[in-house]
Protein backbone atom coordinates (compact mmCIF):
# COMPACT_ATOMS: atom_id res chain seq x y z
CA UNK A 1 0.00 0.00 0.00
CA UNK A 2 1.57 3.31 -1.13
CA UNK A 3 1.12 5.17 2.17
CA UNK A 4 2.01 2.32 4.51
CA UNK A 5 0.25 1.86 7.83
CA UNK A 6 -1.80 4.36 9.80
CA UNK A 7 0.29 4.24 12.97
CA UNK A 8 3.20 6.10 11.42
CA UNK A 9 0.91 9.06 10.66
CA UNK A 10 -0.41 9.08 14.21
CA UNK A 11 2.83 8.64 16.16
CA UNK A 12 5.87 9.41 13.99
CA UNK A 13 7.30 12.88 14.45
CA UNK A 14 8.81 12.77 10.95
CA UNK A 15 5.57 11.93 9.11
CA UNK A 16 3.01 14.63 8.22
CA UNK A 17 -0.01 14.72 10.52
CA UNK A 18 -3.29 13.55 9.04
CA UNK A 19 -6.04 16.15 9.20
CA UNK A 20 -9.40 15.39 10.78
CA UNK A 21 -11.24 14.78 7.49
CA UNK A 22 -8.68 12.11 6.58
CA UNK A 23 -8.92 10.50 10.00
CA UNK A 24 -12.71 10.45 10.02
CA UNK A 25 -12.77 8.88 6.55
CA UNK A 26 -10.26 6.25 7.69
CA UNK A 27 -12.40 5.47 10.75
CA UNK A 28 -15.48 4.95 8.59
CA UNK A 29 -13.49 2.83 6.14
CA UNK A 30 -12.32 0.46 8.87
CA UNK A 31 -15.84 0.32 10.35
CA UNK A 32 -17.27 -0.57 6.95
CA UNK A 33 -14.70 -3.34 6.53
CA UNK A 34 -15.51 -4.80 9.94
CA UNK A 35 -19.23 -4.72 9.22
CA UNK A 36 -18.57 -6.73 6.06
CA UNK A 37 -16.45 -9.26 7.97
CA UNK A 38 -18.93 -9.67 10.81
CA UNK A 39 -22.24 -9.72 8.93
CA UNK A 40 -22.03 -9.52 5.15
CA UNK A 41 -19.56 -12.17 3.98
CA UNK A 42 -20.50 -15.86 3.67
CA UNK A 43 -18.61 -16.53 6.92
CA UNK A 44 -18.30 -14.58 10.14
CA UNK A 45 -14.71 -13.34 10.34
CA UNK A 46 -13.31 -12.35 13.73
CA UNK A 47 -10.19 -10.30 13.02
CA UNK A 48 -8.71 -10.42 16.57
CA UNK A 49 -5.99 -7.81 15.94
CA UNK A 50 -7.58 -4.49 15.03
CA UNK A 51 -5.10 -1.65 15.60
CA UNK A 52 -3.60 1.32 13.79
CA UNK A 53 -0.53 -0.61 12.59
CA UNK A 54 -2.83 -3.09 10.81
CA UNK A 55 -4.71 -0.36 8.94
CA UNK A 56 -3.08 0.22 5.56
CA UNK A 57 -3.53 3.35 3.45
CA UNK A 58 -3.73 3.55 -0.33
CA UNK A 59 -2.56 6.47 -2.49
CA UNK A 60 -5.65 8.51 -1.55
CA UNK A 61 -5.46 7.59 2.16
CA UNK A 62 -8.40 5.22 1.98
CA UNK A 63 -8.18 2.60 4.73
CA UNK A 64 -7.75 -1.14 4.26
CA UNK A 65 -7.78 -3.48 7.25
CA UNK A 66 -4.88 -5.91 6.92
CA UNK A 67 -3.04 -8.74 8.69
CA UNK A 68 -5.53 -11.58 9.06
CA UNK A 69 -2.97 -13.91 10.64
CA UNK A 70 -5.00 -14.22 13.86
CA UNK A 71 -8.45 -14.23 12.24
CA UNK A 72 -11.03 -16.93 12.99
CA UNK A 73 -13.90 -17.98 10.70
CA UNK A 74 -17.32 -19.21 11.79
CA UNK A 75 -20.59 -20.04 10.12
CA UNK A 76 -23.33 -17.50 10.69
CA UNK A 77 -25.51 -18.50 13.63
CA UNK A 78 -22.95 -20.80 15.29
CA UNK A 79 -21.39 -20.35 18.71
CA UNK A 80 -17.92 -18.89 19.03
CA UNK A 81 -15.38 -21.37 20.34
CA UNK A 82 -12.95 -21.03 23.21
CA UNK A 83 -9.46 -20.45 21.87
CA UNK A 84 -6.06 -19.20 22.92
CA UNK A 85 -6.10 -15.52 23.87
CA UNK A 86 -4.33 -13.75 21.03
CA UNK A 87 -4.03 -10.11 20.04
CA UNK A 88 -2.20 -6.98 21.11
CA UNK A 89 -1.95 -5.58 24.62
CA UNK A 90 -4.23 -2.57 25.01
CA UNK A 91 -6.80 -3.80 22.50
CA UNK A 92 -7.92 -6.98 24.26
CA UNK A 93 -11.49 -7.03 25.55
CA UNK A 94 -11.64 -7.79 29.30
CA UNK A 95 -13.89 -10.84 28.83
CA UNK A 96 -11.21 -12.58 26.76
CA UNK A 97 -9.20 -13.28 29.89
CA UNK A 98 -12.29 -14.71 31.58
CA UNK A 99 -13.75 -16.82 28.77
CA UNK A 100 -11.09 -17.15 26.09
CA UNK A 101 -13.71 -16.57 23.37
CA UNK A 102 -12.98 -14.13 20.58
CA UNK A 103 -16.29 -12.76 19.28
CA UNK A 104 -17.63 -9.96 17.13
CA UNK A 105 -18.06 -8.07 20.40
CA UNK A 106 -14.37 -8.41 21.28
CA UNK A 107 -13.57 -7.03 17.81
CA UNK A 108 -15.88 -4.10 18.60
CA UNK A 109 -13.91 -3.47 21.80
CA UNK A 110 -10.65 -3.31 19.83
CA UNK A 111 -12.32 -1.00 17.32
CA UNK A 112 -13.33 1.26 20.21
CA UNK A 113 -9.71 1.48 21.32
CA UNK A 114 -8.80 2.22 17.70
CA UNK A 115 -11.34 5.09 17.62
CA UNK A 116 -9.77 6.66 20.70
CA UNK A 117 -6.29 6.07 19.31
CA UNK A 118 -7.09 7.95 16.08
CA UNK A 119 -8.93 10.80 17.82
CA UNK A 120 -6.40 11.29 20.62
CA UNK A 121 -3.15 10.46 18.85
CA UNK A 122 -2.13 8.28 21.82
CA UNK A 123 -1.06 4.67 22.08
CA UNK A 124 -3.52 2.53 24.09
CA UNK A 125 -0.86 1.32 26.55
CA UNK A 126 0.40 4.84 27.22
CA UNK A 127 0.36 6.18 30.76
CA UNK A 128 -0.88 9.77 30.89
CA UNK A 129 -0.55 12.28 33.72
CA UNK A 130 -4.04 13.49 34.59
CA UNK A 131 -5.09 16.83 36.08
CA UNK A 132 -4.27 15.58 39.58
CA UNK A 133 -0.73 14.61 38.63
CA UNK A 134 -1.54 10.89 38.70
CA UNK A 135 -0.48 8.39 36.05
CA UNK A 136 -3.59 6.87 34.45
CA UNK A 137 -4.14 4.51 31.56
CA UNK A 138 -5.39 5.74 28.23
CA UNK A 139 -9.09 4.80 28.47
CA UNK A 140 -9.28 5.96 32.10
CA UNK A 141 -7.86 9.32 30.99
CA UNK A 142 -10.56 9.74 28.33
CA UNK A 143 -13.22 8.75 30.88
CA UNK A 144 -11.85 11.25 33.37
CA UNK A 145 -11.95 14.07 30.81
CA UNK A 146 -15.57 13.17 30.04
CA UNK A 147 -16.52 13.15 33.72
CA UNK A 148 -15.02 16.62 34.03
CA UNK A 149 -17.18 17.82 31.13
CA UNK A 150 -14.30 18.36 28.72
CA UNK A 151 -13.98 15.25 26.59
CA UNK A 152 -12.59 17.30 23.69
CA UNK A 153 -9.48 17.90 25.80
CA UNK A 154 -8.49 14.36 24.74
CA UNK A 155 -8.27 15.28 21.06
CA UNK A 156 -4.88 15.05 19.38
CA UNK A 157 -2.99 18.29 20.02
CA UNK A 158 -1.39 18.06 16.58
CA UNK A 159 -4.82 18.77 15.08
CA UNK A 160 -4.71 22.20 16.75
CA UNK A 161 -8.49 21.98 17.28
CA UNK A 162 -9.04 21.93 13.52
CA UNK A 163 -11.87 19.40 13.49
CA UNK A 164 -15.65 19.20 13.37
CA UNK A 165 -16.64 19.39 17.04
CA UNK A 166 -19.67 17.11 16.65
CA UNK A 167 -17.62 14.47 14.82
CA UNK A 168 -14.79 14.50 17.34
CA UNK A 169 -17.21 14.21 20.26
CA UNK A 170 -19.05 11.40 18.47
CA UNK A 171 -15.85 9.43 17.87
CA UNK A 172 -14.65 9.84 21.46
CA UNK A 173 -17.97 8.82 23.02
CA UNK A 174 -18.50 6.01 20.53
CA UNK A 175 -15.00 4.77 21.33
CA UNK A 176 -15.92 4.58 25.02
CA UNK A 177 -19.20 2.84 24.25
CA UNK A 178 -17.43 0.26 22.07
CA UNK A 179 -14.93 -0.25 24.94
CA UNK A 180 -17.71 -0.95 27.42
CA UNK A 181 -16.44 -3.71 29.76
CA UNK A 182 -19.77 -5.56 29.46
CA UNK A 183 -19.91 -7.13 25.97
CA UNK A 184 -23.70 -6.99 25.61
CA UNK A 185 -23.62 -3.22 26.15
CA UNK A 186 -21.40 -2.62 23.12
CA UNK A 187 -22.99 -1.74 19.78
CA UNK A 188 -22.70 -4.02 16.77
CA UNK A 189 -20.65 -2.83 13.81
CA UNK A 190 -23.88 -2.18 11.91
CA UNK A 191 -25.06 0.14 14.67
CA UNK A 192 -21.60 1.71 14.80
CA UNK A 193 -21.74 2.48 11.07
CA UNK A 194 -25.17 4.08 11.52
CA UNK A 195 -23.77 6.37 14.21
CA UNK A 196 -20.71 7.31 12.15
CA UNK A 197 -22.81 8.01 9.05
CA UNK A 198 -25.25 10.14 11.01
CA UNK A 199 -28.14 7.83 10.21
CA UNK A 200 -28.86 7.21 13.89
CA UNK A 201 -28.05 9.32 16.98
CA UNK A 202 -25.59 7.97 19.49
CA UNK A 203 -27.60 6.69 22.47
CA UNK A 204 -27.37 8.61 25.70
CA UNK A 205 -25.26 6.79 28.26
CA UNK A 206 -23.33 7.66 31.39
CA UNK A 207 -20.35 6.03 33.07
CA UNK A 208 -19.84 6.51 36.79
CA UNK A 209 -16.86 5.27 38.80
CA UNK A 210 -15.96 2.80 36.08
CA UNK A 211 -13.54 0.32 37.59
CA UNK A 212 -12.27 -2.46 35.34
CA UNK A 213 -10.68 -4.41 38.19
CA UNK A 214 -13.96 -4.40 40.08
CA UNK A 215 -15.89 -5.53 37.02
CA UNK A 216 -13.47 -8.37 36.29
CA UNK A 217 -13.85 -9.48 39.90
CA UNK A 218 -17.51 -10.28 39.32
CA UNK A 219 -18.53 -13.85 38.52
CA UNK A 220 -21.04 -14.52 35.79
CA UNK A 221 -22.93 -12.36 33.34
CA UNK A 222 -25.93 -12.29 35.68
CA UNK A 223 -23.94 -10.22 38.18
CA UNK A 224 -22.62 -7.95 35.46
CA UNK A 225 -26.02 -7.47 33.92
CA UNK A 226 -27.50 -6.50 37.29
CA UNK A 227 -25.42 -3.35 37.09
CA UNK A 228 -26.91 -2.28 33.76
CA UNK A 229 -30.05 -0.18 33.59
CA UNK A 230 -31.52 -0.30 30.09
CA UNK A 231 -34.37 1.43 28.35
CA UNK A 232 -35.41 1.60 24.68
CA UNK A 233 -33.36 3.76 22.35
CA UNK A 234 -32.06 3.75 18.79
CA UNK A 235 -29.65 0.92 19.66
CA UNK A 236 -32.17 -0.92 21.86
CA UNK A 237 -30.48 0.10 25.11
CA UNK A 238 -29.52 3.29 26.83
CA UNK A 239 -26.68 2.28 29.07
CA UNK A 240 -26.21 3.66 32.54
CA UNK A 241 -23.56 1.96 34.68
CA UNK A 242 -23.93 2.49 38.39
CA UNK A 243 -21.16 1.17 40.62
CA UNK A 244 -20.17 1.48 44.23
CA UNK A 245 -22.74 3.44 46.22
CA UNK A 246 -24.80 4.43 43.15
Instruction: Give the CB-side neighbour count of residue 159, counting CA atoms within 13 A.
Output: 24
| Close Cβ partners of 178 (under 8 Å, ≥ 6 residues apart) | 108, 109, 111, 112, 113, 115, 186, 187, 192
Closest to 243 in 3D by CA, of 231, 96, 216: 216
Closest to 105 in 3D by CA, of 39, 23, 53: 39
Is residue 245 among the annotated active site residues?
A: no
* Active-site residue, selected from the candidate residues 49, 107, 144, 156: 49
Q: List, by residue number, the catalytic residues.
A: 49
Amino acid sequence: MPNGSLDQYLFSQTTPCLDWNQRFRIIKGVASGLLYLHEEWVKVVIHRDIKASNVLLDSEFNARLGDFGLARLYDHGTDFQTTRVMGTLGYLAPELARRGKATTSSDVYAFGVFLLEVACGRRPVELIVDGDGEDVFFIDWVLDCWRKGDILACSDGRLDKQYVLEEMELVLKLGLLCCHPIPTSRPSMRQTMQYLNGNSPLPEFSLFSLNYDEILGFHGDEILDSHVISCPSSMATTVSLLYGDH
